[in-house]
Copies of this chain bind each other. A is one copy, B any other.
Amino acid sequence: MTKIASLFADPSTLSKDALEHGTTFAPKFDANGLVTAITIEEGTNNVLMVAFMDAQAIALTLETGFAHYFSRSRGKIWKKGESSGELQHVRQMRTDCDQDAIVLTVVQSGHGAACHTGRKSCFYRQISLVDGKPVLQDAGQPQLFDPKDVYKS
């Protein structure tokens, strides 16, 4: 995969105009070598999850068509679904104006659950003000799998 990773341009070598309007893909990695990745469902555009990608995760995703991320907690590349079977088939990848974020449009396979809690989306709780105090309210997404069954150690 380093074939592709080595082809990423260095954004510091590009003008602001080239970075924002050009055809050169030059992901602007943060101090930890990561860009933000937002994963949405094809068709509904529902936000499924937010994660991070390093150069290798981007390259593997482009090469294989399956979403790969970089796990900050585990410190390594992670093929989404490698434990749970909930693979993500990538239909489209887009980057933003300053190239420090990527939106992945995917078809979620397996049970259709992107979240490790078994829900389709990680964003299953709404933030509301109740008597001036922020509280979380479950938006009622069903659990599509039981994490205890899926993540056996």
Within the complex, what minimum Cβ distance (angstroms) separates A110 from chain B? 17
A residues 1-28 touching B (CB-CB < 8 Å): 3-4, 7-8, 20-25
CB contacts (< 8 Å) of A8 on chain B: these are 134
A7 touches B125 (CB 8 A): no
A62 touches B102 (CB 8 A): no
Report, as a range, how many residues of chain A touch the other chain. 35 or more
B95 touches A23 (CB 8 A): no
CA distance A35 to B7 in the complex (A): 30
A94 touches B127 (CB 8 A): yes
CB contacts (< 8 Å) of A44 on chain B: these are 45
What are 6 A-B interface contacts by the 8 Å CB criterion?
A4-B134, A7-B133, A8-B134, A21-B117, A36-B50, A92-B126
A contacts, CB < 8 Å to B: 3-4, 7-8, 20-25, 36, 38, 40, 44-47, 49-50, 62, 92-97, 101-103, 115-117, 122-127, 129, 132-137, 139
